[in-house]
Amino acid sequence: MTIFPLFTGLTVADLVFPWFVFIMGTSISLSVSSALRCGVSRFSLFTKAVWRSIQLFLIGLLIINPNYCQGPRQYTQTRRHAHTCRHTHAQTRAHADTHTDTR
């Protein structure tokens, strides 16, 4: 039994993220209104936002998830892949330890 049953599973991220979203919304509102007061057109702001969105999407597609064309991995596939990588790395290290370079 927990002392605070309402706070079960509460983490620091649960406290920080709402403030982050609030600050992001405030900063976007202030920057857009400032740009409009300086004479930047709404179309220019819109195209800038679309271009940034495309760039972020491409970064996520090409850099963060290079196997996107193979389709998303299931949780079991991800666990199996991680286990295979650890196992292969351990075998490679063991092989390197037993076979030293004699050049």
Read off the amino acid at residue 59.
Answer: I
Q: Is residue 42 part of a domain?
A: yes
pLDDT at 1: 45
Q: Is residue 89 part of a domain?
A: no
Query: With contact defined as beta carbons under 8 Å apart, do 80 and 74 qualify?
Result: no
pLDDT at 46: 95
Q: Is residue 83 part of a domain?
A: no
Distance CA 78, CA 76 (A): 5
pTM for the structure as a whole: 0.48
Distance CA 45, CA 31 (A): 10
Domain count, the chain: 1
pLDDT at 47: 96
Q: Is residue 71 part of a domain?
A: no
Query: Which ranges constitute the DSSP H helices of the chain?
Result: 12-37, 42-59, 75-98
Per the structure, the complete domain to which residue 51 belongs is given by 9-64
pLDDT (tens, 9 = 90+) of the chain, 103 residues, equals 445 556 667 788 888 999 999 999 999 999 999 999 999 999 999 999 999 999 988 887 777 766 656 666 565 655 565 555 555 555 555 555 555 555 5
Q: Is residue 96 part of a domain?
A: no
pLDDT at 55: 94
Read off the amino acid at residue 28.
Answer: I
Q: Is residue 23 part of a domain?
A: yes
Q: Is residue 28 part of a domain?
A: yes
